[in-house]
Amino acid sequence: MHMRILAVLTAALASAPAFADPMADQLRQVQAVATPSTVIVAFYIERDDGGRADIRALGTVVGDKGLVMFSSLAVPSQIPVEQFKDFQILVPKGTEVQTYAADYLGKDDQAQVAFLRPTEAAKAPALPILKFDEGATVQVGDPVVSFGSLGEPDSYSLVVQNGRVAVRIEKPYPLFLVSSSLGTIGMPVFTLDGKAVGIVSITRLNRGTNAKPNWQNVEMIWPVARFAERLKNPPQGGKAVRRPWLGVQAMTPVTKDLAEYLKLGDRRGIAIGQVIEKGPGDKAGLKSEDIILSMNGKAIAGAEGQLVETFANDLKEMAIGQEVTLEVWRGGKTVTIKAKLEDMPKGAGEAERYVIRKFGLGVREMVLEDRLSRELPTDTSGVVVSFLEPAGWAQDGGLQPGDIVKKVQDQEVKTLADFKKVFDAEVAKKPKEIVLFVLRGKTETQIIRIEPRWEAEKPKTETEPAKTPEKPAEEKKP
């Protein structure tokens, strides 16, 4: 009898799985939801030296006509958009990968998303659209899942990454830290019931103190609310979405001690270190050492270490041209300042560039951030050295990245157009040396002498004389 029962149990165990794992079934179901809408975004960056850097990023089909969203971090702002070439969408199909030409639409760095779409001529198939759930929320302890990817040899197969929400951060906007790695930046994050609640992002967090910050880049869940507007209105024309600017910098939070000294009570604020000349804040009457107590009736409040980032984020979420009302503490009393936000100034990645490969040299026009970062007068002119080829003529002459070229052969160059005209004219003369006057750092002036190796350009004209074929040795007669 006992032997018969044992035989029955043995047979039953042999036909059943080793253990029940409901989460494994859920992970497979989420993978089945994500896979059809997942593609590979491929393009290359044309380097200043003429070489190329190939880029691959995971993307997700999020709209009609094959609209694909991927992380804006794959398209760095410091590189001009003109240097991003040959965008393609790769669609894994079993062991094959189908390739379709694509148009780059642009990006929104504030939302951390970029977009492209198959060109009409590519005739890409209609791919399933992944819908993000704006109403879904996650709580501490909830399991979530995202994906990484294998490489081309394995047909870019998705790799499941799962973890649990470890903490919710409210400021400067809601974010969720997960207990383990979430996978590839820009990929959707799902709950186990298949709802897409955000994307994987990299966010800067202060792991130190207010007095001694320790900023680190951390993987977080980026909620749908942060990029929902871009899903409805993606950028166009390959441009970055423009954000508004108040024209103040070097902002610091008002500490408890400072608030007590100023007799602000429980109020907090943002102290302005610098008001940029001719910026919107300057036009409105803001001054350095002003303390902003509220914006549009909303008090500057929260954890001391988040005050500045929260204020900056709130500004960027407003519209260019929008008027903001600031309550400002100045000289022991409050004043009201109304400022009209303007378009953010051109950044280094948007600056016009000029590369002289013969010299191993690239320069670009100066932008406002160049002057501000070095505390230079706002009317400082010249061009910035943006590229030097190792062991090139310019580097051998002593130029360094970031140098500001003020003169070429004693001729002033205020703009990039000036530099092109003067430099090209000098090169045409093929002089023994080209002398540059540069500003290095804040005040250091350097004289750089570039000695072109013109003789290295000359093609060889001397050729070895043609050899006369040797006559075969005469056979000796016997």
Give residue 328's pLDDT. Answer: 95
pTM metric for this prediction: 0.83
User: 366 with 383: CB under 8 angstroms?
Assistant: yes
Between the alpha carbon of residue 60 and those of residues 38, 41, 189, 363, 475, the distances in Å are 5, 9, 12, 37, 81
- Reported as a single tens digit per residue, the pLDDT across 281-328 is 999 999 999 999 999 999 998 888 889 988 999 999 999 999 999 999
Q: Is the peptide bond before 172 cis (omega within 30 degrees of 0)?
A: yes
Classified as helix, coil or strand, 373 is helix
Give residue 457's pLDDT. Answer: 60
> CB 394: neighbour CB atoms within 10 A?
25
Please give the radius of gyration of the chain, using alpha carbons only, rounded to the nearest integer.
Answer: 31
Q: How many CA atoms lie within 13 A of 360 on its CB side?
A: 18
For residue 189, give the nearest of 234, 230, 148 by alpha carbon: 148
Give residue 302's pLDDT. Answer: 84
Determine the distance from the C-alpha atom of residue 154 to the mean position of all C-alpha atoms in its chain, rounded to a whole number: 28
Q: Which amino acid is at 318?
A: M
Strand-pair partners of 97: 92
Classified as helix, coil or strand, 206 is strand
Give residue 248's pLDDT. Answer: 94
Angle 259-330-343 from CA coordinates, rounded to 5°: 105
Classified as helix, coil or strand, 257 is helix
- DSSP conformation letters of 161-194: EEEEEEEEE-SSS-EEEESS---STT-EEEETTS
> CB 431: neighbour CB atoms within 10 A?
14
For CA atoms 310, 313, 319, 321, the dihedral sign is: positive
For residue 410, give the nearest of 386, 433, 442, 378 by alpha carbon: 433
DSSP assignment letter at 22: H
Which domains are delineated in the chain? 22-240 (2.40.10.120), 244-343 (2.30.42.10), 348-457 (2.30.42.60)
> CB 308: neighbour CB atoms within 10 A?
16
Residue with tokens 């903001």: 324
Residues of the chain with pLDDT under 50: 6, 8, 13, 460-478
- Reported as a single tens digit per residue, the pLDDT across 3-15 is 555 454 555 545 5
Give residue 283's pLDDT. Answer: 96
Give residue 463's pLDDT. Answer: 46
Burial class (CB in 10 A: 0-12, 13-18, 19+), 285: middle
Give residue 245's pLDDT. Answer: 93
Those residues with Cβ within 8 angstroms of residue 172's Cβ, 6 or more apart along the chain or in another chain:
306, 309, 310, 312, 313, 314
Give residue 173's pLDDT. Answer: 78
Give residue 2's pLDDT. Answer: 52
Give residue 327's pLDDT. Answer: 96
Give residue 1's pLDDT. Answer: 52
Q: Which amino acid is at 230?
A: R
For residue 363, give the nearest of 381, 351, 374, 346 by alpha carbon: 351
Give residue 15's pLDDT. Answer: 55
